[in-house]
Amino acid sequence: MKKFFGKKQDSKINIFEKFNWINQVNNLKNKLGEQGFNHRKNQISNLFEFFNKYDGKHLIQEFKNNLIHSGLPENSVNIELELFLEIFAPETINDIFFNPSNGLDKHLKNDKYSDTVSINNNYGFVRIPKGLVFVVGSGNTILPVFTSLVLSYICGNITVIQLSSDHSEIIQSFFNKLPFQGRDYVHFTNLQYVDKSDNECLKDILREFPWDVVNIWGGEEANFYYYKYLAENKNRPDVINMEPLTGVVIIQKKYLISNSNKVVSQMSKSITEMGQQLCSSPTEAYILDDSEGDYLDDFLINLTLSLENNFEQYDDIDQNYIKLDRMLSYAADNGSDVFKSKKYGNKIALIKSLNSSVFSKMGPNLTLSIHERRNFLEFIVVEKLDEIAILINKISQNETHKSVKKIQTILVFGDDIFAKKIISLAKKVSAYRVIDHNYVFRRHTMEALDGKHLVSEFTFQISVLGSIASTLN
């Protein structure tokens, strides 16, 4: 009779064999450091030149086709790739690194980067790379992971990329075809924590690899997962988490009356860009009622028509639209005005409420979160700006925004005096950005990313003090 020994256990993956580059990481750091900043910067500039030649354009087109085939809307892919190419532009790199807003402009000497900075005879410093950087990409955009990759590499770090399953193969295949001499210093893990074997492997590399920095671009679930296992890492890496954020829009009614067509066009674009799923996408709107007349209904009707013209189809779950019907019925039953598309039904829906969100008291089983809906925006009409600050500070208490930690972006439509008031309001709610419609998707090359300058996060300073500092001159 055969003896039963129980279920056969899967053999544990040896992460130091699977990712054998980790065994050479110190040698790789030294080799990359010997190349110098200006050499690494030139490698990125060479890629920019490549993208503007025939072979590069052909590769970009192939990349575009693959992203669209994966389910991303063509218009969104076009926007992303336009901004993607800017990341590699010499002007962009110069603005990011020699940036007066983060103090790194002190490193520019004779039009070249110098890692040493002399402040006075008693103090100076040397800026060096942190070492080993782990970048966790998000599923809804390719730009963050490439931004971190490029900046980390130029800073002199060994960079390891963990991509979303949505497009991991597409991005890695694209990267492997680039004529990039720095590829030995960039590695991919592409482990998916929904897969049992990959999940155990990912946990192990988070616990055991000697990370210096972990840069997480993801939502609440991803942040919780990575923090949990990084807490067991003896190296205590710096964690740069781009926490779950969202955007709001604040409109001055007086300005709206005089600029209705322009606001409709710009608002429509801001709502539809990337399916309203960016951290900067407006997911709640406020209108300051500072003028006579009931003009808002016409504005919302025209905005609905503009959203129809910009509509893009997504593979959303039908169940979400059933729940959305209940939300819209609830809004109408509780005194809000509902504006739906005649062409697309509740796939485009705008709501006008007074003083507070009509959904603030709805339970989790009835509402859709901001990540489960598109082309949807509630406009809350108030009489004072202070009321908007109160609503913003309470926004994460609503079931619709429960995963949101804070406001990233405030989109403003108003005159100059109004805009200054919104900047003051931004201080009260600790928002990261106050923008016009041009910067919903686009970032300024000099701005901090959610309050952080990545170049500063990927490097550190060696202080040089006393008489030794004079040697830096």
Distance CA 242, CA 279 (A): 9
What torsion, rounded to 10 degrees, do the Cα atoms 22, 27, 29, 33 define? -160
> Could you tell me if residue 386 is inside a domain?
yes
Q: Are residues 429 and 402 in the same domain?
A: yes
What's the total number of domains in the chain?
2
> Could you tell me if residue 403 is inside a domain?
yes
> Could you tell me if residue 4 is inside a domain?
no
Q: Are residues 25 and 55 in the same domain?
A: yes
Q: Are residues 237 and 256 in the same domain?
A: no
Cα separations in angstroms, 45 against 50, 52, 56, 86 = 9, 11, 13, 11
Q: Provide the percentage of residues in the chain whose pLDDT is more than 70.
A: 97
> Could you tell me if residue 1 is inside a domain?
no
CATH number for the domain spanning 125: value is: 3.40.605.10
What is the pLDDT, as a whole number, of residue 5?
46
Q: Are residues 371 and 301 in the same domain?
A: yes
> Could you tell me if residue 445 is inside a domain?
no
> Could you tell me if residue 10 is inside a domain?
no
CATH number for the domain spanning 269: value is: 3.40.309.10
Structural domain of 408: 245-439
Q: Are strands 433-435 and 406-413 parallel, antiparallel or unpaired?
A: parallel
Q: Are residues 237 and 364 in the same domain?
A: no
What is the pLDDT, as a whole number, of residue 317?
60
Q: Are residues 146 and 211 in the same domain?
A: yes
Buried b (16+ CB within 10 A) or exposed e, 92-109: bbbbbbbbeebebeebee
What is the pLDDT, as a whole number, of residue 142?
86
Q: Are residues 293 and 413 in the same domain?
A: yes
Q: Are residues 250 and 268 in the same domain?
A: yes
> Could you tell me if residue 3 is inside a domain?
no
Q: Are residues 158 and 256 in the same domain?
A: no
Q: Are residues 317 and 422 in the same domain?
A: yes
> Could you tell me if residue 135 is inside a domain?
yes
What is the pLDDT, as a whole number, of residue 134?
98
What is the pLDDT, as a whole number, of residue 316?
64
Q: Are residues 133 and 207 in the same domain?
A: yes
Show the low-confidence residues of the chain (pLDDT under 50): 1-8
Question: Could you read off the pLDDT of 184-214 as tens digits, one per residue?
Answer: 999 999 898 788 999 999 999 999 999 999 9
Q: Are residues 124 and 148 in the same domain?
A: yes
Q: Which pairs count as long-range contacts for 273-276, CB under 8 Å and 24+ apart, including other chains?
A: 273/76, 273/79, 273/440, 273/441, 274/76, 274/79, 274/80, 274/140, 274/141, 274/441, 275/73, 275/76, 275/140, 275/312, 275/314, 275/374, 276/370, 276/373, 276/374, 276/375, 276/376
